């Protein structure tokens, strides 16, 4: 039995299992800092700003139909009353925040 191969395999498995959790945490942090004030803690747009701007909740069919790529584009370039974030967040931050928001879609 090659112990170097087994150790390398275990390390690879550990890294691959941690990566989604790190991205999820980064996405949650960005979402909380930049998106939550309008979209709400669970994507339900229940905030004062969300209600005033008539933001649709993550569970709304019109929101659920958006692909991840469309949500990333909307976040970068703005959509309706939502301001563009392309000059405020990196592409990675936008992608992670969108991935986190998509966890609210049921």
**CATH number, domain containing residue 44:** 1.10.760.10
Give the pLDDT score at 15. Answer: 54
For the chain, how many structural domains are there in total?
1
- CB contact set of 15 (below 8 Å; sequence gap of 6+): none
Which pLDDT tens digit goes with each residue over 2-19?
555 565 555 555 555 544
Which pLDDT tens digit goes with each residue over 39-96?
999 999 999 999 999 999 999 999 999 999 999 999 999 999 999 999 999 999 999 9
What is the span of the domain harbouring residue 72?
A: 3-102
Tokens 């970068």 correspond to 76
Check residues 21 and 103 and name the one with the higher pLDDT. 103
Cα 95 to Cα 44: distance, rounded to the nearest angstrom: 20
- Angle of CA points 26, 71, 86, to nearest 5°: 70
Secondary structure (3-state) at 25:
helix
Six-digit token pair at 104? Answer: 């609210």
């Amino acid at each position: 039995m090659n112990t170097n191969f087994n150790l390398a395999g275990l390390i690879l498995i550990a890294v691959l299992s941690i990566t989604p959790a790190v991205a999820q945490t980064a996405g949650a942090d960005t979402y909380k800092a930049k998106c939550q004030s309008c979209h709400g803690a669970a994507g339900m747009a229940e905030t004062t700003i969300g209600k005033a701007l008539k933001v649709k909740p993550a569970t709304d069919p019109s929101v659920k139909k958006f692909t991840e790529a469309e949500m990333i584009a909307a976040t970068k370039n703005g959509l309706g009353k939502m301001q563009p974030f392309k000059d405020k967040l990196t592409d990675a931050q936008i992608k992670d925040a969108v991935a986190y928001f998509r966890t609210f879609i049921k």
